[in-house]
Amino acid sequence: MVDKLPAPLNSRLNDGAATFNAAGDEVFITRNNKKCKKHDQLQILRSKFDGTNWSRPRALSFEMPGASYAHPSLSADGNTLYFSSDVSGGYGGMDLYMVRRNGNAWESPVNLGPVVNSSGNETFPFIAADSSLYFTSDGQPGYGGMDLFHSKFKEGKFAKPDNMGVDFNSAKDDLSMIVDTRNRTGYFASNRDGDDDIFSFKLAPLKKVDEKEKERQELSSMRVGKVLDKATGSPISGARVEISKPSNPMTGVYYYTNDTGAFHVARKLEADEQVKVTKSGYKDNTFTGANVAEAKSFEISMDSEAGSSIARRDFTTLYYDVNKSDLNSSMIEVLRPVVDGMKRSPDNIAYISGYADERGGDTYNYGLSLRRVEEVVNYLSSQGINKNRIQSSFFGAVKLSDKCRRNPKCVTDTDRENRRVEIYITNQK
């Protein structure tokens, strides 16, 4: 039997996404902000039980006007609150934050950073008893819609999130996972069957995982596409990429490109699937999965309508020796003007794309291009460039030189143009 919680925990507004402390006498709830006329902003309210009644829920002291705060999750000791918010200064739409309690006061919230947060939306955090984090994202690589992710807490920070896989995630929206104290049973919500329903699960006993093998398998199954302006070569963010089968369009899933024009698909595309890319100001681009079924990464060009594309301001390329990803002294010299330009123009954004030649396998090349990009991003950050101003993607062995497009297995020693990182600067986010 389900009992409705009494007033004032429930109100005439929308009330939901609540978390209780271990004693059950303190609760944090999500509610529409009644001070916002459209009621489209959310806030987190706290209420305390005195043994007879619940106190009037009140907003937390750190919440800023004009921003939404939602989906609270309280740590086991009751001293750290995790939540999602679109407050300015984040990495995307809704980001995940944590805030510590010091006595009766709250400290300043801390963004969980770019390892957890993406250019999309991270929502519905749940902090488990072992301090690992479960959450929902539509910006991390997934299976379509919103997916469930898990991040372990290691050495004082959250590790790179793992997609929970096809046992939990579907082509639709899967969200709001909670687990027991042993992380073995729990619940989550999904609209995979139409309406939002609650699902339960029970996991089999844990097996020892080879992390390197796990990473290899993840990279092996990952597909990444990049949508570009045909005229300028600049990435197109916010493009809608729909993948469906013409015989059954209801099975379709969709993705949106991030600020570097990239989208990630956690599986191989089937030959009879249709890929349709749309973006306001551009002509639609439609093709079949057969065109890219064997590709680990691929590019999609879009013809723009008059006046729709953005212009590239500055372009820089770094070239690498075989199997190298570190920055040498000559590369540092090439990057110095990039740093100086970013410092002179604080509104500029750096877009960084990493590539490889075809010497290694697809999985290796994908990882190598990632390491090259990470080196550049870390260098720019070490020189005082805020990572909020850096967008990056990695593509493996794609966008090969003309010589290598004519020879699919091009491995000539002189073909360094395929082993590269491209950096271009624009004043439009």
**pLDDT at residue number 63:** 93
- Its sign, for the CA torsion 156, 153, 327, 313, is negative
* Contacts of 11 by beta carbon, 8 Å cutoff, 6+ apart: 31
Q: CA–CA distance from 413 to each of 209, 321, 404 (Å)?
A: 38, 9, 12
Closest CA relative to residue 49, chosen from 88, 23, 87: 23
pLDDT 10s digit of each residue in the chain, 429 long? Answer: 677 888 888 888 888 889 999 888 999 999 987 655 554 689 999 999 988 899 999 999 999 988 999 999 999 888 899 999 999 988 888 999 999 998 888 999 999 998 999 888 999 999 998 889 999 998 887 777 889 999 998 877 898 898 888 888 887 889 999 998 887 899 999 988 888 899 998 876 655 556 565 555 555 556 778 888 887 777 887 788 888 877 665 556 767 787 677 887 767 778 888 888 988 778 889 988 887 766 777 888 888 775 444 444 567 888 888 888 899 988 998 898 889 888 888 888 888 888 887 776 666 777 788 889 889 999 999 999 988 888 877 777 665 554 554 444 454 444 567 788 888 787 654
Joined tokens for residue 251: 């099975």
Q: Which residue type is seen at 48? A: K
Question: Could you give the CA distance from residue 123 to residue 125 in angstroms, rounded to a whole number?
Answer: 6
Scanning the structure block, which residue is given the tokens 């990493």?
A: 354
**pLDDT at residue number 249:** 53
Question: Could you give the CA distance from residue 75 to residue 54 in angstroms, rounded to a whole number?
Answer: 21
Question: Could you give the CA distance from residue 71 to residue 124 in angstroms, rounded to a whole number?
Answer: 5
* 150: enclosing H helix or E strand: strand 147-151
Residue 218 DSSP SS3: helix
Domains, the chain, ranges and CATH? Answer: 15-207 (2.120.10.30), 221-302 (2.60.40.1120), 314-426 (3.30.1330.60)
